[in-house]
Amino acid sequence: MSSLLVIILLACLAWFWFDSVRAKESATRAASIACNDIQAQLLDQTVALKKLRVVRDKAGRMQLQRNYNFELSMDREARSFGRVILLAKEVSSVQLDHADGTTII
């Protein structure tokens, strides 16, 4: 019985790891598109997971919400920050902070 529990636990961990990799790729793609839209450069070409939590979606189902942070530059000198929020695998919002204010996409 305990070996079955270990196998189930390992399968759940593998699923979570693969799901996290796909979510990070989606967040990086969303950040890159948002930066291109305002003619900014996505620094380091990646995002970093800031927060992971379970929330309810509009239909009342439990979903994983992942918040990613990234850095961008408008003039190749000053750094600004941005955020991508994913609900399950869908991009919920992208926020870009820059000198002109915060852009929410």
Predicted local distance difference test score (pLDDT) of residue 77 = 80
pTM for the complete prediction?
0.85
pLDDT digits (tens, 9 = 90+) for 53-103: 999 988 889 999 999 999 998 887 888 899 999 998 889 999 988 766 666
Distances (CA, A) of 19 to 1, 7, 25, 30, 64: 27, 18, 10, 17, 10
Average pLDDT, the chain: 89
